Chain A
Amino acid sequence: METRRKMKLGTSDKVILGIGYTVLGIFVLSILIPLVYILMASFMDPNVLNSRGISLNFKDWTLDAYRRVLENDMIWRGFFNSFFYSAAFTVISVFITLLAAYPMSKKEFVGRKFFNTIFLITMFFGGGMIPTFILINQLHMVNTIWAILLPGAFNVWNMILARTYYQSIPKELREASSIDGANEIQHFFKVMLPVCKPIIAVLALWSFVGMWNSYFDAMIYLNDAELQPLQLVLRSILVQNTPQPGMIADIQSTAEMAKVAELLKYATIVVSSLPLLIMYPFFQKYFDKGIMVGSVKG
């Protein structure tokens, strides 16, 4: 790398690099500007935002939108529900997936091919939306959290990743523990899980983020307002354009209401997205690792 810096670049190379960096710069700005815009807009006075757009004058700034959003019960309940669903889903899903991957990682496991085929088929073909919906209905799982936790809890792709990871662990560990008299269950919990922390972290993060950001299952299975996760609350505010009634109840004029409702969207986006955006850099290395595990042959 040192040589590179010392090398003199030809003129055409300089031009190409210049163009390349410009393209990269434009891409970076295209990501940065909308995010910064939303952050700043969320602090604006609704009238200023409506007439002049973003203002850098601190007199035009207000925390009013945040007060309205954070005083709203639905947002808090959504947060709480989403957190609960995502945490529960992560625990169930990762546990079941790790368990299933263990026998599947053993070359001598009788029935390995058969079970593998059974699992793989589900990656490529499924009954589809309507038969699944009818089934969940018949199981009386509508309006219960099981409808969104169980159907996707076992993830075949994650199982393949975990299986690949297990196979990279020396077999001698199992031989050693069996000499000590440990059965498979004891071996799994006492020996395997502690050495598999990296893959567990990857699967847990993917499961959590996936559940946190999804809305389809909740939309069709959870009709009860009490049970709705954050994404559905956001959907009614951001996509269906209906702010939660409590948020703007105190405003009299319709025109004023529309302005505030627009402003509330910005604050809602910030409040709902900030937790993940702040957290993700801390978990970045695990995500990187996950990509690596995934790119090794499955």
Chain B
Amino acid sequence: MNILAKKKTSPVKRTAKDKLMYVKKNWQLYLFFLMPALLLTIIFKYLPMGGVLIAFEDYNVIDGILGSEWVGLEYFKRFLSSPDFMEYLMNTLKLSAFGLLWGFPIPIILALLLNRIRREGIRKKIQLLIYAPNFISVIVLCGMVRMFLSPVGPINSLLGIDTNWMTMPSAFRTIYIASGIWQTAGWSSIMYTAALANASKDLEEAAIVDGANIFQQIRYVELPAIKNIIVIQFILQAGNIMSIGFEKAFALQTDMNLPASEILSTYVYRMGLLNGDYGYSTAVGLFNAIINVILLIAVNWVVKKLNDGVYKEEERNGNKKKNETRNI
């Protein structure tokens, strides 16, 4: 699951000559198989990384990236001292932190509930339905939200009021997070449902025979079966807290709710592509990316520690069950 924390097994030591022979003999692997991906990666991923230089210069198209005048950290000073920037940074953090807080437990609860439905047919139908919103596009979802919440929309007429929710900064986060849960909670529960289905049924039946009530069954049988997935999912999502997507926030923005809905990625778009302030917006984007990398490294370090802990615990208990769930 976790890519960075993976322990690398070193192959048998080979001499440089052996390696050269291998490359010569297997040239197809390099030229035919790897080359297209490598070229795309270099052109579309690494060249833009070089392009972050414009965060430090007064970029203009004629002089290009290498010829434009160097301004050092001026843009960074500018946005770090700007109250707007701090507001957008906080918007970004709040939106994803609250999104995680509310959105994270719901798929787990859904999976636990679905697992209790013993009538296969009913369960399958419910699953089919709650997965469906995942296939609705961001644009359509945001269109639906806008229609339902419009002053003449069904929610207002149901409540007998005519509030224009989309123009209220205070309502934005709730709208964003609730619609996110509506769209993805069902789909996110698949992973937990699969792990629960693979959990030992014997253990569960033994627990029931022993007279365990529902909370005890959840505590001792079901949660241990999905514990690893919960931990890893939480950590991965926590690590992505700064890379919250552009598309949905942008589609839910109105001029009025900007105080809450402007996040760093939409700010970069506005400043860079709409206002043409390339250097400044690249600097903001770079800042965002660096915080993101730091978060990911930190999170990865935690995963490593936790993983080692899990392995030790397993060794102590001689417990093979966790391995079984991992090898679904």
Contact = CB atoms under 8 A, between A and B. Distances in A.
Interface stretch (B80-88, B138-146, B311-319): B138-146
B36 A150 contact: no
A17 B116 contact: yes
A35 to B, nearest CB: 7
B247 A4 contact: no
Given A100-B37, A238-B140, A295-B328, A20 B118 contact: no
Contacts of B34: 99-100, 103-104, 115
A34 to B, nearest CB: 6
B37 A235 contact: no
A297 B326 contact: yes
A111 to B, nearest CB: 8
Q: Considering residues A16, A53, A100, which has the most beta carbons from chain B within 10 angstroms of its beta carbon?
A: A100
A120 B37 CA distance: 13
A167 B65 CA distance: 43
A135 B51 contact: yes
Contacts, number: 276
Given A119-B41, A131-B282, A124 B273 contact: no
Interface string A201-229: 00000000100111110001000000000
Interface in B112-161: 112-114, 116, 118, 126, 128-133, 135-140, 142-144, 146-148, 152, 154, 157
Is the interface on chain A under 10, 10 to 19, 20 to 34, or 35 or more residues?
A: 35 or more
Given A28-B130, A216-B246, A133 B273 contact: yes
A126 B289 contact: yes
Interface stretch (A62-70, A153-161, A248-256): A153-161
B205 A3 contact: yes
B268 A128 contact: yes
A114 B143 CA distance: 45
Contacts of B229: 295
B216 to A, nearest CB: 10
Interface string B183-194: 001100011001
A130 B154 contact: no
A7 interface: yes
Contact of A215 (B19, B37, B139): B139
B256 interface: no
A179 interface: no
A267 to B, nearest CB: 12
B296 A212 contact: no
B92 interface: no
A215 B48 contact: no
Nearest to B51: A131
B268 A110 contact: no
Nearest to B28: A184
B154 A53 contact: yes
A248 B124 CA distance: 42
B247 A216 contact: yes
A231 B130 contact: no
A238 B142 CA distance: 8
B214 A13 contact: yes
A84 interface: no
B28 A130 contact: no
Interface in A112-137: 113, 115, 118-120, 122-135
B22 A108 contact: yes
Contact of A298 (B2, B19, B144, B296): B2
Interface in B1-23: 1-4, 6, 8, 11, 14, 19, 22-23
26 contacts: A1-B118, A5-B118, A16-B214, A31-B129, A34-B182, A35-B132, A38-B144, A103-B33, A113-B8, A120-B3, A124-B292, A127-B47, A130-B268, A130-B285, A132-B44, A132-B48, A134-B278, A135-B51, A231-B137, A238-B146, A239-B143, A265-B147, A276-B136, A277-B135, A295-B194, A295-B195
Interface of A: 1, 3-5, 7, 10, 12-13, 16-17, 20-21, 23-24, 27-28, 30-32, 34-35, 37-38, 50, 53, 96-97, 99-100, 102-104, 106-111, 113, 115, 118-120, 122-135, 150-154, 159-160, 183-185, 188, 209, 212-216, 220, 231, 234-235, 237-239, 262, 265-266, 269, 272-273, 276-277, 280-281, 284, 287-288, 291-292, 295-298
Shortest Cβ-Cβ A-B pairs, 4 listed: A131-B51, A127-B48, A238-B143, A128-B285
